[in-house]
Amino acid sequence: MMDIRPVLFVNGFLLLVLAAAMGFPAVVDLRADDGDWKVFAVSAMATGFVALALVFGARPKGRPSLTPRQAFMLPVIAWLLTATFAALPFAFSTLRLSPTDALFEAMSGLTTTGATVIIGLDKAPKGILLWRALLNWLGGEGIIIMAVVILPLLRIGGMQVFRMESSDKTDKIKPRITQVATAITLIYAAFTALTAVAFWAAGMGRFDAVCHAMAAVSTGGFSTSDANLAHWNTAVQWVAIFAMLVGGSSFTLWIGPWKNWRPKVLDDAQTHWYLMFLGAFAGVLALWQWAVNDMSPGVALRHAAFSVTSVVTTTGFVSTNYSAWGGFAHVVFFVLLFIGGCTGSPAGGVKIFRWELLFAMAGIHLKRLLHPHGIFVIHYNQRPIGQAVLDSVLGFVVMYFFTFAAFALALTMVGVDLVTALSGSASALGNVGPGVGSTIGPMGSYRGLPEAAKWILSFEMMLGRLELFTVAVLFSRSYWRE
């Protein structure tokens, strides 16, 4: 039987971090003379008690280490446990969310999806607003660490390309995983602080600036207003665009060696594709708004750039109701739900890296039609890509779209209309947040969905966040065999 003590031991430390984080909204509510500070205090004590029980009760002998089977289980248990305890303040605060809504909100925050069931954010307690932002921020960092440390070891979806223990020692970002994690945390915190200052300078209040900075850099998308970023001025929206751009980029390359004060991320092929996707779609939609919907060029460019960046980076911020842009825009935004940000970022979706390899494989097949006996090799950053990586990417993409279709079908079975089911499934799996249509569109809410639909979407958010196979492998018979 598999020893799960190392898994529980690590999860104990994660719950300790969550318990400590609950102290911040407790202090905010206490200073605002809001009674919800007691809810956060009690939730922190309960979470801390369970965390300490796991740390001391499941401590393995010797230095903790994870086998591949334990590594598959670790992130799944982590997201389930943290989401469950993170839901406590939502359930017992003055919002009085139902258990379903509380877990949905917590899972949405930790997976940086940004889908919400809360209405009346402008008048909500500051502690709850800060807690939502903290969940985005903590979940975003956890996702980056998982993408750098765990997924490459498990060879999920071609992620072995980004394994730190590469045989090419000259390209190692840092010699030890702990140093990588520390460096990522520092750069992540630095970008968050810079974004908060920029939001404040652009006209936001200090509290809103901090909350939106955490939501932007983590690509989480939780806002402090029902109107989202449409509540603030043009300068704030431009700051958000650049913050989301950074959030969707590869953090592992920001900490890599700089040459002539130029970060390595700017020379990465994935970054070039990332900017190309954003520029192309933003340009097309801006032109559409100007030519068809009579929007002025400046406003069209701003809203198109904001909306495309928000959806591609899976942040989910909103500057305007793009559901009113017409059928063409609806199709474009539905397609964008599947793109995703860069590998090594907190963004969800299929990811730019995989799309780059898929297009390269399509090009190779076309060449083989003309030159059946030719030998063609796919390169990434001037390096040849092995067949095992290509097979992993193909397997992941097939699994991704199969999962999307299956969950869309499940949503229709519990009473959700077709448009909401399709866009809701795509949004949850890609951790985007808003979908398409009037119900869960940019100015909509998930609150009115049936409870069964919320449970389905919550599970799908976790599936998408953990790159599908991490969860799917636990349901295989061979995983549980000795």
Question: Residue 315, annotated ligand binder?
Answer: yes
426: helix, strand or coil: helix
Q: What count of other Cβ atoms lies within 10 Å of the Cβ of residue 70?
A: 18
Residue 432 is labelled as binding a ligand: yes
* 266-289 pLDDT per residue, tens: 888 899 999 999 999 999 999 999
Q: Could you tell me how far CA 120 lies from the centroid of its own chain? A: 24
Biggest alpha carbon–alpha carbon distance for the chain: 76
Q: What percent of the chain is predicted at pLDDT more than 90?
A: 66
Could you tell me how far CA 169 lies from the centroid of its own chain?
Answer: 30
pLDDT for residue 481: 76
The verdict on whether residue 11 carries a ligand-binding annotation is no
Radius of gyration of the chain (CA): 22
Query: Tens digits of per-residue pLDDT, 337-370?
Result: 999 999 888 999 999 999 999 999 999 999 888 8
Select the highest-mean-pLDDT range: 373-377, 380-384, 398-402.
398-402
* DSSP characters over 313-369: TT----SS-GGGG-HHHHHHHHHHTTT---TTSS--SS-HHHHHHHHHHHHHHHHHH
219 is in an annotated binding site: no
Q: What is the pTM of this model?
A: 0.92
As a whole number of angstroms, the distance between CA 467 and CA 465 comes to 6
Give the tens place of pLDDT for each residue, 99-134.
999 999 999 999 999 999 999 999 999 999 999 999
pLDDT digits (tens, 9 = 90+) for 323-340: 889 899 999 999 999 999
Nearest to 51 by CA among 79, 11, 78: 11
Pick from 47-61, 249-263, 298-312: least confident: 249-263
Q: How far is the C-alpha of 424 from the C-alpha of 435, rounded, in Å? A: 6
**Is 112 within any annotated ligand binding site?**
yes
Q: What are the residue boundaries of the structural domains of the chain, listed by start?
A: 1-96, 378-480
Q: What is the mean pLDDT of the chain?
A: 89
Return the sign of the alpha-carbon dihedral for residues 310, 316, 319, 323. positive
pLDDT tens profile 64-90: 677 778 888 888 999 999 999 999 999
Cβ–Cβ < 8 Å for 148, 162: yes
